[in-house]
Amino acid sequence: MNGRKPEPLWDDDPREIAGYRLLARIGEGGMGTVFLTRSHDGALPVALKLIRREHAQSENFRRRFAREVEAARRVSGPHLVQVVDHDAEAERPWLATRYVPGLPLDEALGGHGPLPLPSVLMLTAGAARALDAVHTAGLIHRDVKPGNLLLTAEGPWLLDFGIARAADGTSVLTTVGRMVGTPKYMSPEHALGRQLTPASDVFTLGLVAAEAAAGRHPYGEGGGLVVATRIAGTDREPPDLSAHPPALRRILSATLAARPEDRPSAAEVAELCGACDFTAWLPKRVASAVTATTRASTKPSDPRTTAWLPGRRRTR
């Protein structure tokens, strides 16, 4: 819901939801469309997710969406985007969170290559602290991946609780009719369809850390299901981590352990990464891209206008 550069509203997009004047589109996915708006007092940029009509017509989906909202509101901590408002009973349910402008990790890696070791350690520590807050609230994120980690000048942010799951196994919300999670960023137990614990998030954080440092997935190239199959067999063929520096290799070996009970907790991962100082924590090339994205994302400071948006509005 955050980090993407705003785009013009489409002709058939709403212009206002529950008193929130919509300024731009941020993105669109299987659950709905995300819009940029501002808090009612105009002080805070907000990302508002409007659920698709077909999902809104499902009572089962509505109940699960309401549980997602309640779950998200329970989670608070560093490096986490907070829920600021919602209405699960609206004709089309919606959820509003703080809007954090920045550069998604997948875009940073694709455009600027791997991160240096100090940046990787701070990225991992920040994400681990966020996961610790999620786990403390009794939830499992289930979709830790580069696209859900946002790089900002103040540190990393963990995004998207849309498929979170209660640690007791009770589903909070899943995308209707689809496999939950991203195959290339699943733990072995997730890929095998077994019950998940917070240790699953720790494994996927290890995948992200390894990729951030090397610029490539530790289980190699290929389609999502091909990589997920390799991950599922990691007890027989673990990834080769020899190219990673020793300080990171120790963390990766622990987080990517085949058995969930052999992995450290998220809080322990943060401790393994050491102290963090997010002052100038990114290399210059990435920091410049973060600054450019932030400036583009925060242009519409006046909630009364969207005249800044370039281009012709499109129709679906």
- Residues belonging to the active site: 143
- 95 lies in the same domain as 139: no
Q: How far apart are CA 78 and CA 157, in angstroms?
A: 8
Q: How confident is the model at residue 76 (pLDDT cuts 50, 70, 90)?
A: confident
- 113 lies in the same domain as 40: no
CB 181 within 8 A of CB 163: yes
19-74 residue pLDDT tens: 999 999 998 877 899 999 999 999 889 999 999 999 999 999 999 888 878 888 88
> Has residue 314 got a pLDDT over 80?
no
Q: Which residues are annotated as a binding site?
A: 49
Q: How many domains does the chain have?
A: 2
Domain limits for position 176: 104-284
Q: Would 310 be classed as within a structural domain?
A: no
The two counts, helices (H) then strands (E), for the chain are: 10, 12
> Has residue 240 got a pLDDT over 80?
yes
Q: How far apart are CA 207 and CA 136, in angstroms?
A: 22
187: its two tokens:
């733990």
- The model carries a pTM of 0.84
CATH number of the domain encompassing residue 33: 3.30.200.20
Q: Is 206 exposed, middle or buried (0-12, 13-18, 19+ CB in 10 A)?
A: buried
273: its two tokens:
């990464």
Task: Report the largest interatomic distance among the alpha carbons of the chain, rounded to a whole angstrom.
Answer: 59
- Mean pLDDT across 241-258: 96
* Backbone angles phi and psi of 271, in degrees to 5: -65, -40
CB 39 within 8 A of CB 138: no
Q: How far apart are CA 140 and CA 131, in angstroms?
A: 8
Q: How crowded is residue 122: how many other Cβ atoms within 10 Å of its Cβ? A: 21
Amino acid type, 14: P
- 89 lies in the same domain as 157: no
Helix or strand (DSSP H, E) at 50: strand 45-51
Computed on alpha carbons and rounded to an integer, the radius of gyration of the chain in Å comes to 19
Q: Would 11 be classed as within a structural domain?
A: no
Reference 102, options 150, 48, 161, 32; nearest CA is 150
CATH number of the domain encompassing residue 162: 1.10.510.10
Q: How confident is the model at residue 161 (pLDDT cuts 50, 70, 90)?
A: low
- 258 lies in the same domain as 153: yes
Query: Which of the listed ranges 59-73, 192-206, 292-306 does the model predict with the highest average pLDDT?
Result: 192-206
Amino acid type, 295: R
> Has residue 113 got a pLDDT over 80?
yes
- 76 lies in the same domain as 193: no
Q: How far apart are CA 192 and CA 188, in angstroms?
A: 6
Q: How confident is the model at residue 298 (pLDDT cuts 50, 70, 90)?
A: low
- 134 lies in the same domain as 277: yes
Q: Would 210 be classed as within a structural domain?
A: yes
Sign of the four-CA dihedral 298, 302, 303, 306: negative
Q: Which residues are annotated as a binding site for ATP?
A: 49
The length of the chain in residues reads 316
